[in-house]
Amino acid sequence: MAKEHLEALFKVMDQATSLLDGVLHTSMIDALIEIGEDMHARDIQQEDGVPDAATTAKLKELFASVDLSSYSADEIRQALQLVMVKAAEHDQLEPNQQITPDALATLASFLISTMTPTMPATYRIGDIAAGSGNLLYAVMNQLTAARDTQVHGYAVDNNENLLALASMSAALQDINVDLYHQDAIDNLPFKDLDAIVSDLPVGYYPIDERAKGFETAAKSGHSYAHHLLMEQALPALRPGGLGLFFVPTEVFKSDESKGLTTWLAQHAHFQGLLGMPTDFFSSKAAEKSLLLLQKPGAGSKQATQVLLGQFPDLSDRKAFQEFITDVRTWYQQNIN
């Protein structure tokens, strides 16, 4: 029944987005943003007669067929995510702007919960490469459900369109989040976060002048964006705060990895590196792993044995349960 309930919302959002996309003549992402805003406002926005009366009537009929109040925040996020995937394919978004798989959020949420036995009244978590906000919101929803705590989010992205999508998504889910449209390598507008979780963009950062002040910057030429972003994120954490970064699986095998490992040794507790299932990614070059860092201080310590391994396929229940048990045992023996 739950599957049919979620599917009903997805179909309404999907059909409404396709319908509006047919009259807007912009992009499917733009159409989705407007549909989400209309659903939140419970009204159809019209500008210069667009959408026309016939399209508006069809949209109202679609919206009337579902009751948003009957859906949880994460059900709304999941339905939106399915439409986002279609919209991203339709608009041919570049790989760094694609939707992060939910399994990555599940892993991040589990590690945060495991390594934070006692949570503050309000848990502050950010994403400095937030895109549409899907990864951050999935983690926020999962932490809220699992730990019965208030979660406040902070999201940064330099893509105005994706941030508009994140804003619409947050409004529909009633998520408490501050959104910032800026280059994440510029000064971040927040500090003392409990955690930062990011599916980091892979590639070179184009502004060499801004990058040269970073310890992870390349000795010559452009620097890797994901190196700079990790170095940028760590000072925004409170002492003992967690950094969970999805990075290229070959992150420590590149020519520039020496600068990254030197920085890590001096400024962070390197707590773990977990590979993700290969079928999550379109090619070997696109494969990512989760790098788990912790900011020194507040009683935190370097694990005596770094957590290394492979995140199992969620459909393999036995392997998944064994993984959960292994990680909890690792935390008790090496961190707690």
Say which residue the tokens 């969620």 belong to: 314
Q: What mean pLDDT is reported for the chain?
A: 92
Which pLDDT value is given to residue 162?
A: 94
| For range 161-186, the mean pLDDT | 97
**Residue ranges in 46-159 assigned as alpha helix (H):** 53-64, 73-91, 102-115, 134-147
Residue 324: pLDDT band (50, 70, 90) is: very high
Range of the domain at 321: 95-334
Residue 213 and residue 87 share a domain: no
CATH code at position 129: 3.40.50.150
- pLDDT tens-place string over residues 132-161: 999 999 999 999 999 888 999 999 999 999
Judged against a pLDDT cut of 90, whether residue 224 lies above it is answered with: yes
Phi-psi region of 71 (alpha: psi -120 to 50; beta: other; left: phi over 0): beta
Q: Is the dihedral of CA 20, 26, 29, 33 positive or negative?
A: negative
Residue 289 and residue 241 share a domain: yes
Structure tokens at 109: 């949420």
Judged against a pLDDT cut of 90, whether residue 237 lies above it is answered with: yes
Residue 96: pLDDT band (50, 70, 90) is: low
- pLDDT tens-place string over residues 7-60: 999 999 999 999 999 898 889 999 999 999 999 999 998 888 889 999 999 999
Residue 302 and residue 195 share a domain: yes
What is d(CA 215, CA 135) in angstroms, rounded to the nearest whole number? 28
Whole-model pTM: value is: 0.95
- pLDDT tens-place string over residues 300-318: 999 999 999 999 987 888 9
